[in-house]
């Protein structure tokens, strides 16, 4: 029986049993695999790091999309950086107020793999008339565009290789320039138990650039070794204080079902365990 070992951290690794290798190859930028596992279903692996799985993608994609999109009173324009599998795009498009989602993904090869192997996850979101897919570097896009967005979601790989620039102060400053007045930036920020300096770095950049820089936490089975942090940056401090009743009302009006997100979970996710609070403070 074959096992895939993900070595992302220096001291700990995780293993997944491989029932079938559905794809193995090289895109223009990364080594890519699509594996099949009995519990997780299809698994997307880039440069030997698990990106998403059919079994638990709902946690990450729902919480990355719906927390900012229900915090904002009327989000119309969304920018996704990365997110090649299309799972986040699919969640963002569920919001009736959203008129357009621009997604800037570096690697067209990942989008092609997602269209072929992960239709259950992206549900044809690439073909939605509100989707504007750009194949290119997200950092270059935010440095150059004149467009403004209500919500920016950074669904990046970890800070190695092409994803490294997406954790830099310059990139976050460009994101801020691309946000509307009460805009929100949310970022993939790793597992604090093992990637503390990555989270501390992002939060210190947020606090230098925005009125508020913080994080919220989620538990994703395949992002192993503890809670995962999602970074939160905005100039409008009231957006994090939206009460449960208001969130309930927005959630009810949006009229879609979720598997992890709820207004209570949304509020609770900002309550940080002390070891994570210490990292960000």
From 166, 230, 247, 272, residue interacting with ligand SAM (rule: CB under 6 A):
166
Asked whether the beta carbons of 233 and 213 are under 8 A apart, the reply is yes
Site string for ligand SAM, 119-148 (x = CB under 6 A): ------------------xxx---------
107 binds ligand SAM (CB under 6 A): yes
From 8, 45, 89, 104, residue interacting with ligand SAM (rule: CB under 6 A):
104
194 binds ligand SAM (CB under 6 A): no
User: Is 155 labeled as catalytic in the residue annotation?
Assistant: yes
CA distances from 247 to 80, 219, 239, 252, 254 (A): 22, 21, 11, 8, 10
53 binds ligand SAM (CB under 6 A): no
Window contacting ligand SAM (CB under 6 A); options: 45-53, 121-129, 237-245, 260-268: 45-53
Q: What is the size of the binding site for ligand SAM (CB under 6 A)? A: 25
Task: Choose between 96 and 136: whose C-beta lies nearer to ligand SAM.
Answer: 136
162 binds ligand SAM (CB under 6 A): yes
Site string for ligand SAM, 63-92 (x = CB under 6 A): ------------------xxxxx-------
Site string for ligand SAM, 169-188 (x = CB under 6 A): -------------------x
202 binds ligand SAM (CB under 6 A): no
The set of catalytic residues is: 155
Interaction site with ligand SAM (CB under 6 A): 46, 51-52, 60, 81-85, 104-107, 110, 137-139, 155-157, 162-163, 165-166, 188
């Amino acid at each position: 029986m074959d096992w895939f070992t993900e070595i992302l951290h220096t001291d700990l690794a995780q293993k997944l049993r491989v029932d079938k290798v559905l794809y193995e190859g090289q895109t223009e930028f990364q080594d890519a695999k699509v594996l099949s596992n009995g519990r997780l279903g299809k698994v997307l692996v880039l440069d030997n790091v698990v990106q998403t799985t059919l079994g638990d993608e709902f946690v990450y994609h729902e919480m990355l999309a719906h927390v900012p999109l229900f915090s904002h009173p009327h989000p119309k324009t969304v920018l996704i950086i990365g997110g090649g599998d299309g799972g986040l795009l699919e969640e963002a498009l569920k919001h009736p107020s959203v008129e357009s989602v621009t997604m800037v993904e570096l690697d067209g090869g990942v989008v092609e793999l997602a269209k072929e192997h992960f239709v259950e996850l992206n549900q044809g979101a690439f073909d939605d008339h509100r989707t504007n897919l750009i194949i290119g570097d997200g950092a270059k896009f935010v440095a150059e565009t004149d467009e403004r967005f209500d919500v920016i979601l950074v669904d990046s790989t970890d800070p190695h290789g092409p994803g490294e620039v997406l954790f830099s102060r310059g990139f976050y400053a460009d994101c801020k320039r691309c946000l509307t007045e009460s805009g929100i930036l949310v970022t993939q920020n790793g597992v604090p138990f093992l990637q503390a300096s990555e989270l501390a770095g992002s939060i210190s950049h947020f606090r230098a650039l925005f009125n508020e820089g913080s994080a919220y936490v989620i538990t994703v089975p395949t992002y192993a070794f503890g809670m995962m942090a999602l970074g939160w940056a905005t100039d409008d401090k009231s957006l994090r204080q939206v009460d449960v009743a208001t969130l309930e009302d927005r959630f009810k009006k949006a009229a879609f079902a979720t598997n992890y997100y709820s207004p209570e979970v949304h509020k609770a996710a900002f309550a940080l365990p002390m070891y994570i609070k210490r990292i960000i403070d």
